[in-house]
Chains A and B, each alone.
Chain A
Amino acid sequence: MSLSIKDHEIDIVIGALRSDLTSFMSEWRPIFSRFHLIIVKDPDLKEELKIPEGFNLDVYKKPDIDCVVGTSTSTIFSGYSCRYFGYLVSRKKYIISVDDDCYPAKDNKGILVDAVAQHITNLTTPATPFFFNTLYDPFTEGADFVRGYPFSLRSGVQCALSCGLWLNLAHYDAPTQALKPEERNSRYVDAVLTVPARSLMPISGINIAFNQEVIGPALLPSLRLGGEGKFRWETMEDIWSGMCVKVACDHLGLGVKTGMPYVWRNDRGDAIASLRKEWEGVKLMEEVVPFFQSVRLPREATTTEDCVAEVANVVKEQLGSKDPIFARAAKAMVDWVMLWKSVGSSTSSPGA
């Protein structure tokens, strides 16, 4: 953990899709208890939240969300997207977010992984997107840049996003998990690496962290599947948001890292039941990936908000006519930038 980062610069944002967070919070207590937490309850969740004592936290529920953004807008925060409300109201520099069905993992030596510390290390050491280092993260203990790595590229760029991984239930799509129902990810890969510039990847929202000051507005709820549900298999919102983030980072000269930390993802849901719903998402990716690979942002886009607005424009022009879901996503992105600008300038606090 970087000693120069103060705990008060960090918010941990949890989207609660389940009401009983007792075991989740208890398991994470050794790691989370130092930090301020923002818990956002899925507006569609009827039951009361059960949260153990002893945390420094703010809880936002539907009435609070309605209060801040209005009842018509609050629908964008349904399901997994509820965490974006937490990002919106956070005033901290670094945000870390894990799904509420994830628990601390153990590394190869059996030691509990401090996911927060690793994410912060990832965010506070440079990324190296312009040239691949074959020993992976050159800034980690015991490693460095290898022979042949240009010296002018060794100072790296600021890391804006840290994407962690998952043991046990891997982040497969429904068809893959349905075909391999017993498969669990048991491989702990002891590496962090920078995703090269102009390379895209499917960014999962299950275990991420970001520097809100530099990239905040690009993490956004916008692509919502027609049959979006309450399992990760039944959403694409994080994948879409991740594409926007990567395109913006590449344009702005910021870095994205992937690899450690790992979290332990609990078994949940039925892949076969989700197959029908996620098929829509799987089909969409065939359009989404080539689209984002071709996006080129203009030089005038110098801020993250500019980048998001530009991407929204291009989505509307190029994808809007292919499927109404894209037209809606483009509008949602534009609305989000406006929301970000307005809520970001007000100080809001949750209701009782």
Chain B
Amino acid sequence: MAEPSTISPAPLLKDELDIVIPTIRNLDFLEMWRPFFQPYHLIIVQDGDPSKTIKVPEGFDYELYNRNDINRILGPKSSCISFKDSACRCFGYMVSKKKYIYTIDDDCFVAKDPSGKDINALEQHIKNLLCPSTPFFFNTLYDPYRAGADFVRGYPFSLREGVPTAVSHGLWLNIPDYDAPTQLVKPLERNTRYVDAIMTIPKGTLFPMCGMNLAFNRELIGPAMYFGLMGDGQPIGRYDDMWAGWCTKVICDHLGLGVKTGLPYIWHSKASNPFVNLRKEYKGIYWQEELIPFFQSVTLPKDCTSVQKCYIEISKQVKAKLGKVDDYFNKLADAMVTWIEAWDELNPSGAKSAELSNGASK
């Protein structure tokens, strides 16, 4: 359903939002996004060989960081940033100075809605982030703040103000985000279903957060968006966004912030090799059976009033409870602490604002 253009358009937020793009190949995909992305500042995180030159299309305002830059800026703390994995994108979140982040993969293109119109994914994410979430009671008509919808009968009025939205999780048409076993069984399956809804994921419910088409309020939740230790030298890959998503959701639930999923869609063009994926995910498939009950049972003490405090607390529990699953989790717990230290170093006033905005948020 096309949104009526008479309704006031979402603010551009062009000075308040950075677009973070990890890449190891090229940035040709930006040409298609130009009408929507050009007003914004880009942070390109170049993975892999730092001596390679990644060409950024003309006309974009950007900063680019390769591995040498990451090492230079973070020093020994750069150990927490993954190498040879798109998890390195979280370095972009850390160095950004903006309130909002949108991150997108370099194989994601502009999708069309059922009426054939190009979808401005960024605009929809901004709307999602600027509108409250409703995690305490499920609205059967989905997003009640959308044009043409509202809260249904029985929805308590005291819950209708909602809470601030920290995360907007978008979806993908064409190549779906399946794990390797599913890809192997269904190599030809394409997601052709356009589900015209945005909804808040209820409090207490975990979800698999995909980093392909994701936006968040960096001031509200930034420090929780650590994408873990993946890729080169690590026993696991393709669980970076999952890890960040579980930590983020637990912290959002604790701090009374909202996570939305649904629109906007992007067009995911590239199917990664399922055999390569299987090798990367293999351990994750087993480990997630321990990880999910772990995250479902995490409780954070009342004095964890900032994202950083929550995150450090989770890292302690990771070490205590998951260290015995595999030594990897000991390293990951340490890396989580390193990440927060690095975040606070690079964002000294940001640390304060995370606490303040959480304290002040209703």
* A binding-site residues for B, Cβ under 8 Å: 108, 131-136, 142-153, 163, 165, 170-173, 176, 180, 183, 185-191, 195-204, 232-233, 236, 239, 242, 258, 282, 285-286, 288-289, 293
Contact = CB atoms under 8 A, between A and B. Distances in A.
A330 B193 CA distance: 44
B95 to A, nearest CB: 27
B238 to A, nearest CB: 7
A144 B182 contact: yes
B191 A187 contact: no
B171 A201 contact: no
Given A142-B192, A146-B176, A150-B289, A199 B138 contact: yes
Contacts of A200: 137-138
A27 B189 CA distance: 36
Given A134-B169, A186-B1, A146 B137 contact: no
Nearest to A108: B114
Contacts of B130: none
Interface stretch (B199-207, B220-228, B299-307, B317-325): B199-207
Interface in B232-278: 238-239, 241-242, 245, 261
Contacts of B356: none
B250 to A, nearest CB: 14
Contacts of B203: 199
B158 interface: yes
A159 B259 CA distance: 26
B178 A282 contact: no
A201 B179 contact: no
Contacts of A293: 136
Contacts of A152: 289
Contact of B207 (A131, A151, A180, A204): A131
Contact of A195 (B138, B152, B153, B206): B138
B32 interface: no
Contact of B202 (A147, A183, A199, A236): A199
Contacts of B153: 171-173, 176, 202, 204, 232-233, 239
Nearest to B249: A132
Contacts of A289: 137, 156, 159
Given A143-B191, A258-B138, 8 more contacts: A131-B206, A134-B169, A134-B208, A146-B208, A148-B210, A176-B150, A198-B204, A204-B152
Interface string B164-207: 00000101000011110010001001111111110001111111
A190 B137 contact: no
A334 to B, nearest CB: 23
B152 A170 contact: yes
